[in-house]
Amino acid sequence: MSFTLPRYFLRFHLSFTSRTASTRAKNNHGYLFLAPKANTTKFTTASIPGDKPQKLSAEELLVVVGGGAAGVYGAIRAKTVASNLNVLVIEKGKLLSKVKISGGGRCNVTNGHCADNLVLADHYPRGNKELRGSFFNVHGPTDTMSWFVDKGVDLKTEDDGRVFPVSNNSSSVIDCLLSEAKCRGVSLQTGKLVTSASASASGKFLLKIEKRTLKSVELVEADYLLIASGSSQQGHNLAVQLGHSIVDPVPSLFTFKIEDAQLVELSGVTFSKVIVKLKLENVQRNIPQLTQVGPMLVTHWGLSGPAILRLSAWGARYLYSSGYKGKLIVDFVPDLHVEDLKSMLSQQKNRFLKQKVLNSCPMELQLVKRFWKYILDREGLVGDTLWASVSNSSIVSIANLLKHCTFEVKGKGQFKDEFVTAGGVPLSEIHLNTMESRIQPNLYFAGEVLNVDGVTGGFNFQNAWSGGYIAGSTIGRLAAGNANLVGAL
Ligand SMILES: Cc1cc2nc3c(=O)[nH]c(=O)nc-3n(C[C@H](O)[C@H](O)[C@H](O)COP(=O)(O)OP(=O)(O)OC[C@H]3O[C@@H](n4cnc5c(N)ncnc54)[C@H](O)[C@@H]3O)c2cc1C
């Protein structure tokens, strides 16, 4: 990516690995000069006296920490609102790397089934109260979808509300964002880590940026700072250096590890609708969200699927403090009352007295044979048991097991189809209508760096798009206003 900012002087600070580089840095008093509109050579060295980095341009600079969804979207928006603003995104790794792997490589961009913002906000275990306000009104899922469609990314909404590019390929989203950033003139720099940030008395930000491969350090002075560093510890450190606190990060959206050898044999079996309830010793009161309805999947490791992931998100903090131990109660036939289930099983017995129970599960239950066997095994009914020898009390117990099947949760799974972090900068420390810090003027946050996380279904990206958009709009308006003021002088 080329760096096309006008004149900035960056202090070139630390140890070079090569002797030549080290000598050159010394001879030039440790400064790097960034040439305006540089083409092939991006940097030229210049000898500038003094200790402080200097900016020789009247134009303002926004530095965005993090080239993920929130950072790139925010950078594009800021540059769209204020074309005069210099926008520089610093990314320590690869740009939009999570977008690439998201949604199994398809990128679940947002959710198309939440027209009502109050309903939408309810999908965020952290943030549900705060996000009911202006946040999604300014830029919600419909706005995000229009944004991508306007820029040529065709989208489709699946039955469960998840929105994907029609291409089924996250590259469509990445290519769109990168080409938009490029055509707006956003500078994207990768392989660089922002290691420290401080605010000067004049209200500007002094950033220390380490170039990883060269082991060099640059200092940059910015007028606006947008921290969109996701869940990284380094991003949290920057927030703390600028006066913010951090809600302890803990994982959210994970599968449950269940140690049950017979369950492992069901690996791959899916249930389209179950009710799952989590019981944790450290939670005495009734928390409605610790009961979820939806699809569930058996894995070789335990239990997964949307209903389980939602439970993990709502229970993230409690599960963390219980050491990921608890009881999971599953209702495998949520649409049937237990009494109806008992009579259904009794009728089955009476009709098929001479048949093996294993071979004659009531059709209405729509249970796969492997799972029916699992239930019978748990009841101690061996493979060749005939219905005739099933007692009424066994029928009651089978019905109870299907309605309240208990599993011991022994830990957190490693499955990472979608995985986010709960915790980060508390929402009480920012203005959600601008994304500006309440502690430090001209400092902004967006995305997962905040103490916001959603359940699966595109809600986490929506937080990133909305936050990035609001921050970018606010910064852009300020920068455009300042440029007008300068012009008027
Ligand atoms: C496997 C997986 C699949 C997912 N699938 C989906 C999905 O389909 N739909 C959905 O809604 N959500 C999904 N998510 C969640 C979603 O990816 C995140 O919520 C979202 O990426 C957050 O965006 P962000 O820009 O805030 O942070 P990130 O995407 O994490 O971007 C932050 C960037 O900042 C960089 N960075 C951090 N600190 C520094 C620093 N000091 N200096 C320079 N750079 C720094 C990081 O390298 C990173 O690239 C998935 C997550 C995972 C892990």
Angle between helices 392-403 and 338-351 (to 10 degrees): 140
From 232, 237, 459, the mutation candidate for ligand 1 (largest count of ligand atoms within 8 A of CB) is 232
Q: In which region does residue 66 sit, left (phi positive, over 0), alpha (psi from -120 to 50) or beta (all else)?
A: left
CA distance 240 to 397: 56
Per-residue pLDDT at 27 exceeds 50: no
Q: Does residue 64 sit within a domain?
A: yes
Distance of CA 440 to the CA centre of its chain: 25
CA distance 99 to 396: 49
- Residue 419: pLDDT band (50, 70, 90) is confident
User: What percentage of the chain carries pLDDT values higher than 70?
Assistant: 86
* C-alpha of residue 130 to centroid of ligand 1, in Å: 21
Q: Does residue 49 sit within a domain?
A: no
Computed over every residue of the chain, the mean pLDDT equals 88
Give me the pLDDT at residue 489, please.
Answer: 59
| Closest by Cα among 327, 234, 335, 215 to 282 | 327
Q: Does residue 52 sit within a domain?
A: no
CA distance 265 to 300: 8
Residues 41-65 have a mean pLDDT of 52
Tell me, yes or no, whether 275 and 377 share the same domain.
yes
Contact 395, 342 (CB under 8 A): yes
Tell me how many domains the chain contains. 2
DSSP 489: -
Tell me, yes or no, whether 258 and 237 share the same domain.
no
Tell me, yes or no, whether 304 and 335 share the same domain.
yes
Give me the pLDDT at residue 215, please.
Answer: 79
* C-alpha of residue 98 to centroid of ligand 1, in Å: 5
Ligand 1 contact via 226 beta carbon (within 6 Å): no
The CA-atom distances, in angstroms, between 471 and each of 110, 177, 468 are 19, 17, 5
Tell me, yes or no, whether 369 and 221 share the same domain.
no
Name the token pair of 290: 């610790």
Residues 318-325 have a mean pLDDT of 95
CATH number of the domain that 67 lies in? Answer: 3.50.50.60
Tell me, yes or no, whether 405 and 310 share the same domain.
yes
Q: How many CA atoms lie within 13 A of 252 on its CB side?
A: 26
Gyration radius of the chain's alpha carbons: 28
Tell me, yes or no, whether 241 and 97 share the same domain.
yes
| Closest by Cα among 85, 94, 99, 43 to 185 | 85
Q: Does residue 303 sit within a domain?
A: yes
Enclosing domain of residue 286: 254-417
41: number of Cβ within 10 Å: 7
Ligand 1 contact via 251 beta carbon (within 6 Å): no
Tell me, yes or no, whether 320 and 307 share the same domain.
yes
Coil, helix or strand at residue 286? coil
Token pair 């209508």 is found at 433
110 CA: nearest ligand 1 atom: 11
* C-alpha of residue 29 to centroid of ligand 1, in Å: 38
Looking at per-residue pLDDT, the higher value among 417 and 301 belongs to 301
Token pair 């940059």 is found at 220
- Residue 337: pLDDT band (50, 70, 90) is very high
| Closest by Cα among 209, 303, 212, 231 to 263 | 303
Per-residue pLDDT at 45 exceeds 70: no
Q: Does residue 203 sit within a domain?
A: yes
Per-residue pLDDT at 1 exceeds 60: no
* End-of-domain residue from the set 417, 435, 456: 417
pTM: 0.88
Residue-wise pLDDT tens digits, 341-369: 999 999 999 999 999 999 999 999 999 99
Per-residue pLDDT at 56 exceeds 50: no
CA distance 197 to 208: 6
User: What percentage of the chain carries pLDDT values higher than 90?
Assistant: 82
* C-alpha of residue 230 to centroid of ligand 1, in Å: 5
The residue whose CA has the least distance to atom 50 of ligand 1 is 418
CA distance 345 to 361: 8
380: number of Cβ within 10 Å: 9
Q: Does residue 191 sit within a domain?
A: yes
Tell me, yes or no, whether 347 and 287 share the same domain.
yes
Tell me, yes or no, whether 330 and 200 share the same domain.
no
Residue-wise pLDDT tens digits, 107-150: 999 999 999 999 999 999 999 999 999 999 999 999 999 999 99
| Closest by Cα among 5, 54, 58, 6 to 486 | 58
Residue-wise pLDDT tens digits, 179-218: 999 999 999 999 999 999 999 999 999 999 999 777 789 9
Q: Does residue 276 sit within a domain?
A: yes
Residue-wise pLDDT tens digits, 252-300: 999 999 999 999 999 999 999 999 999 998 888 889 999 999 999 999 9
Per-residue pLDDT at 234 exceeds 60: yes
Residues 35-53 have a mean pLDDT of 30
Tell me, yes or no, whether 63 and 186 share the same domain.
yes
* End-of-domain residue from the set 355, 389, 417: 417
* C-alpha of residue 273 to centroid of ligand 1, in Å: 30
Ligand 1 contact via 193 beta carbon (within 6 Å): yes
Tell me, yes or no, whether 331 and 213 share the same domain.
no
Q: Does residue 361 sit within a domain?
A: yes
Residues 310-338 have a mean pLDDT of 97
CA distance 117 to 111: 12
Give me the pLDDT at residue 282, please.
Answer: 86
Tell me, yes or no, whether 234 and 363 share the same domain.
no
Beta pairing partners, 224: 62
The residue whose CA has the least distance to atom 10 of ligand 1 is 458
Residues 86-103 have a mean pLDDT of 97
* End-of-domain residue from the set 417, 440, 469: 417
| Closest by Cα among 148, 276, 157, 208 to 14 | 208
In this structure, which long-range contacts are made by residues 231-238, counting pairs with CB atoms below 8 Å and at least 24 apart in sequence? 231/420, 231/421, 231/423, 231/424, 231/448, 231/449, 232/66, 232/92, 232/449, 234/92, 234/193, 234/194, 234/195, 235/65, 235/66, 235/449, 236/424, 236/425, 236/449, 237/196, 238/65, 238/194, 238/196, 238/197
Residues 90-113 have a mean pLDDT of 97
